[in-house]
Amino acid sequence: MSHDVEAVSHHDYRVVDTDAHYIESIDDLISYMDEPWKTRLEKGGEASKSFLLPKSSGDRTVFGRISRDHPYGYEGNDPEDAAEIMDYLGVDASIQLTQLLLAFARLKADDDRAAVLAKAYNDYMLDQVVDPDAGVYTTGVIPYQDPAVAVEEIDRIKHESGIVGFMMVTGGAEPPFGNREYEPIYEAVERSGKPIVFHTGGSGLDEFYLSGYEKLIETHTLGFLMNNMAQTVSLIVQGIPVKFPDLDIVFLESGIFYIPLLMSRLDAEYRKRPSEAPLLEKPPSAYLQEMYFGTQPIEEPPHPDHLKHVIEMVGGPERLMYASDYPHWDFDPPSTIADLPFLSKDDKQQILAGTAEEVFGI
């Protein structure tokens, strides 16, 4: 696929995109699956694929009324698209994250589908898409539903230069990620020297954890935000940053305004009930300020000073990293950061590339 298109963002910065989605399909992954899954899916047709990963509900484009003028659609990618999309966005390096497996929230049975999908995705991306020489990377998907298998997968691919972190999907995870059952995963990721990336998901009408909502605007407003908040609270209260002090923690795709809210709420609760978080050695807000956050979808308040103050509250540009969320309809080009009037050139460069280079080793 080749497109003669004009970039959406013009700037004078090096840019690392920490959240661009590669639109893979189950068909892409089948040949990378072990038996009997490979044969089952080849012979079972669409019914088998629907069983493997149920579809979401809720139309993201409001039946075509929401559109972005960009050439790379939402129907699927070819491996060579990654470099072309980078040129289109105006980025120098891109971490291509799974699109398909954000649907892990829909897997409710105690079976091995998550493990099968994660391994196949990781192998497909390494074989077909990832190219560190061209600035194309990915995060290994962790089948957190089975921690023992997840550790095996981390250890299997941790030395791959194109794998710059390991991703867990926050939507639908039960128990929440601070639970002790996930600790072998965090130990393995910490041992790898790469960050753990929590990417939100589960905002469709059917996979939202409360039933009865009628419109996607409701669950899309709440889902990404609530899933990241729920997992952040669990991680901090259960002392994961204390137990694994060398583990870099990254949260993606909820903007940044929710972080000061969590700081205030957690600190207030901790002052009243410190005995319920006995591992903490400092206020919860201090641990939040040691985590990293993707910027997309960056908030656009009517008063820009509000955004300036939030950036200061979360710990400054050193805690933020640019994320596009391309090709979703609400993606952010690099200009959303490059055009902020209150940031210095150095601060813009830190958010657009510096933090990601340090955290992901790019």
Q: Looking at the domain assignment, is residue 10 inside a domain?
A: no
Query: In this predicted model, what pLDDT tens digit does every residue of 244-289 receive, in sequence order?
Result: 999 999 999 999 999 999 999 999 999 999 999 999 999 999 999 9
Strand 163-169 relative to strand 16-22: parallel, antiparallel, unpaired?
Answer: unpaired
Two structure tokens written together for 182 = 């996930």
Residue 173: per-residue pLDDT: 87
Q: Looking at the domain assignment, is residue 153 inside a domain?
A: yes
**Cα 248 from Cα 172, distance rounded (Å):** 22
Using pLDDT thresholds of 50, 70 and 90, give the confidence band for residue 1.
very low
CATH number of the structural domain spanning residue 162: 3.20.20.140
| Cβ atoms of residues 113 and 140 within 8 Å | no
- What distance, in Å, lies between the first and last C-alpha atoms of the chain? 27
Residue 65: per-residue pLDDT: 55
Selected residue with higher pLDDT from 50 and 140: 140
Q: Is 126 left (phi over 0), alpha (psi -120 to 50) or beta?
A: alpha
Which residues span the domain enclosing 228? 16-360
Query: In this predicted model, what pLDDT tens digit does every residue of 301-357 receive, in sequence order?
Result: 999 999 999 999 999 999 999 999 999 888 999 999 999 999 999 999 999 999 999
Domain count, the chain: 1
Q: Looking at the domain assignment, is residue 205 inside a domain?
A: yes
Two structure tokens written together for 172 = 């639908």
Q: Looking at the domain assignment, is residue 182 inside a domain?
A: yes
Mean pLDDT of the chain: 91
| Cβ atoms of residues 288 and 294 within 8 Å | no
Residue 22: per-residue pLDDT: 93
Residue 180 has pLDDT above 50, yes or no: yes
Q: Looking at the domain assignment, is residue 169 inside a domain?
A: yes
Residue 59: per-residue pLDDT: 53
Query: In this predicted model, what pLDDT tens digit does every residue of 50-79 receive, in sequence order?
Result: 888 876 655 555 545 556 666 665 677 889
Residue 2: per-residue pLDDT: 42
- List Cβ neighbours of 98 (8 Å cut-off, separation of 6 or more): 21, 22, 24, 121, 125, 138, 141, 167
- List Cβ neighbours of 271 (8 Å cut-off, separation of 6 or more): none
- List Cβ neighbours of 176 (8 Å cut-off, separation of 6 or more): 230, 231, 233, 234
